[in-house]
Structure 1
Amino acid sequence: MKKILLPVSLVLSFTLAACGSHTQTDKPASTSPTASPVSSESARPVDLQGIWKRKNSMDADAYQEAIIDSETITINWVTNHGDTKSLYWVGSFEAPHAATDEYSWTSKRDRKTTDIAILASSDETKKFTFHKDEISFEAGILGTTTAVRLGK
């Protein structure tokens, strides 16, 4: 019974979070990273590595968390006060090479890792955008899509 409740609670949390959001599905996905340059020549590329937590979740106990390292972005559904994590996305990450205020990249899904996870996205690629200290992307489950905004 407990195994059934976890996916149901995740779906309910996701659906409630999606109610107040709107998505942009008419933009074509980019196949390469794009960056908006910063005016200062001494500025360094933004470091996106680390742990990012969903900022626009309606439920403090059900949210997404992203972990970015030098080559990979991993996103988990997190519940039960952080004690339970379910895999949503594992994909490629390409860090910005120039100082920038805005950066986007298209992550290619790691099929070997995500194909065995019941709550993982089946999208082949996912577009991520960094802007104003946030990473955003669209997450979908059971036909519902929501905009996710992550902060450090």
Structure 2
Amino acid sequence: MSALVTLREKTHGLPMGKKIFSTIYSQKAPYFATIHATVAEMRPNYAEVHLPKRRSVQNHIGTVHAIALCNGAEMAMGALAEATVPRDKRWIPKGMDIRYTAKADSDITVVAETEPEQWEKDGDLDVRVQALTVDGVVCFEGVIKLWISSKQK
């Protein structure tokens, strides 16, 4: 079990447990802290991150900035990967292919998803990501490509 999954289990039942977990997780990759996101759900093959629309993540037209959306997608992908990766394998991000499909004009929910069979072999693995406004409009969609390899023995 990964350290992130263990941390999630320890904080899950606490008052403000999601916020505590998310704050500690944000310190693993300090740029996560810039978006003030909360990991709403984290389980094998699925993660959901809520990103509030705040002045610090807005662009010049008052919508959530593209890079803040990418940070949210990477945070969701990382939570999914840590909850899913088999014990004998490791992962590292390799690339991101994203399309911005609508204005991100509200708080945002970023979802990352995979299928169980994707984790069975080494090599490239595509994590599907999308960001939705509070009205359910998909404002961002794409793939984060991971490299999966066996751990050295």
- With the length of structure 1 as denominator, give the TM-score of the two structures: 0.29
Q: Which one has more relative contact order, counting CA pairs under 8 Å at least 6 apart?
A: 1
Instruction: Give the structure with the larger helix fraction.
Output: 2
- With the length of structure 2 as denominator, give the TM-score of the two structures: 0.29
Instruction: Give the structure with the larger strand fraction.
Output: 1
